[in-house]
Amino acid sequence: MTTFLWVLLFSMSAMVVNTIGIFVMRQNEDWTLRNKDYFMCFAAGVLITSPLIMAFPNAIERSSYAGVAALFGFMLMFSVNRLIKHKTHQEELAFGVTALLGIAIHSFVDGVIYSVSFSVSPVVGIVSGIGLVAHEFAEGVITYSVLLKSGVTRNKAFFYAFLVAALTTPVGALIAFPLVQTLSVSSLGLAMGAVAGVLIYLSASHLLPAVKTEEHKHSYAAFALGILLAFVFFFTK
């Protein structure tokens, strides 16, 4: 399968899983809210492991400055997150608009990550992609919930959540793909380093807290399963 088809497959899968999360949340809010943390924990396991054992080593092979790029990616997401948190201390509607902007940027970046990851290696792309797709269900749930909290009707919440959280991922992937293909080996290493930093930040700041704070009966098992899956791909690549 070509690199483009891998990127298209995973970005579209992310959109579908996100949309399923929105739909399930609309149909059965109680069940979805009870189980979304398991998806977060599994995704955390994959996304904290795959950058450290696969993506970052691949980046270092291509550029000696990949570590600097990883730090840049991490700090960029940290700064954006702090800005969003600062802006959300407002009324409900303002909170919803600002939160949705953050989700839209996050989903768009997910699409860019697919393009960079699969351009480096199909295995790196698959492992990173599984973690990203796994957390899309919870992201769909969160987006729909934010819209409802902002006073939007159920039908409009479904439509806007799809546009903001689901559709932006394949759009980001398709926009980034032709640009990524023009990068030199060294530049691709820098891009992969930045992606590794972003993935580590997403796991450490947004997903791992779900493992620690929620502590459901099987949350640590879901986290360990995500780590195990990343290692399975690593040793069978």
Taking every pair of Cα atoms in the chain, the longest distance, rounded to a whole number of angstroms, is 51
Q: Model confidence over 85-112: pLDDT tens digits?
A: 676 565 444 445 555 665 676 677 788 8
H-only helix segments in the chain: 3-27, 29-50, 56-62, 66-87, 92-120, 122-149, 154-161, 168-180, 185-201, 208-214, 219-236
Which residues of the chain have a pLDDT value below 70? 33, 84-85, 87-103, 105-106, 146, 149-151, 206-207, 210-217, 236-237
Q: Model confidence over 163-178: pLDDT tens digits?
A: 888 998 899 898 888 9
Boundaries of every domain in the chain:
3-236
Instruction: Give pLDDT, residue 91.
Output: 46
